[in-house]
């Protein structure tokens, strides 16, 4: 279905002038079923100059809350459409598509073009005080045009890690 819709959009785009696009990208989270019992939301953040954080090694980066690893000034401000303001991270409620595996589609818009971005997804525990899961991805340069879809598989922590991941109240 998505492939057919993408084909229609591509065909329509070829018929006339290109519409201006808002820089950003789509991402798809793959979530283990067991994680659903312990999380309240997903926190999405972009970090600049990710190669300077643990050498850009996502295996190491995701072992601790990102807020403990980089100063606030390194978070790319993301647009919260509901609050009409920019903030260090966006919180997304759980809205999974059931299946094997469970997935959730998210979209980040108004992302400033740049390179050496790290995309950090953190699963916030139901008590809001612990890191229940995480994933880190090194992004291709973000351009003002269309950007590649990002697929991330959240790693579950059992038990959740003892750090407060929240970047926004």
- Per-residue pLDDT tens over the stretch 87-133: 999 999 888 887 778 888 888 888 999 999 999 999 999 998 999 99
Mean pLDDT, residues 150-165: 92
Domain range for 90 is: 23-161
Is 12 domain-assigned?
no
C-beta neighbour count of 26 within 10 angstroms: 15
Mean pLDDT, residues 25-41: 86
At 35, which CATH number? 2.60.40
Total domains in the chain come to 1
pLDDT of residue 22: 64
Residues 6+ positions from 28 with CB-CB distance below 8 Å: 103, 104, 105, 106, 149, 150, 151, 152
pLDDT of residue 73: 94
Is 4 domain-assigned?
no
Is 6 domain-assigned?
no
Is 116 domain-assigned?
yes
Is 82 domain-assigned?
yes
pLDDT reading at 5 higher than 50: no
pLDDT reading at 20 higher than 70: no
Is 108 domain-assigned?
yes
Is 94 domain-assigned?
yes
| Length, in residues, of the chain | 169
pLDDT of residue 81: 72
pLDDT of residue 145: 84
Is 84 domain-assigned?
yes
Asked if the peptide bond before residue 159 counts as cis, ω within 30 degrees of 0, the response is yes
Q: How confident is the model at residue 85 (pLDDT cuts 50, 70, 90)?
A: confident
């Amino acid at each position: 279905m998505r492939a057919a819709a993408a084909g229609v959009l591509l065909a329509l785009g070829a018929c006339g002038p290109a519409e201006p696009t808002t820089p950003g990208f789509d991402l798809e989270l793959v979530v283990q079923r067991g994680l659903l019992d312990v999380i309240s939301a997903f926190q999405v953040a972009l970090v600049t100059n990710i190669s300077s954080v643990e050498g850009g090694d996502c295996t190491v980066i995701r072992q601790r809350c990102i807020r403990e690893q980089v100063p606030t000034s390194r978070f790319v401000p993301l647009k919260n459409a509901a609050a009409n303001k920019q903030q260090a991270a966006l919180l997304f409620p759980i809205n999974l598509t059931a299946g094997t595996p469970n997935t959730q589609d998210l979209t980040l818009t108004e992302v400033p073009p740049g390179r050496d971005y790290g995309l950090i997804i953190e699963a916030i525990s139901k008590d809001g005080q612990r890191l229940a899961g995480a994933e880190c991805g090194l992004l291709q340069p973000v351009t003002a045009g269309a950007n590649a879809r990002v697929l991330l598989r959240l790693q579950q922590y059992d038990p959740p890690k003892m750090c407060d991941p929240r970047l926004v109240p």
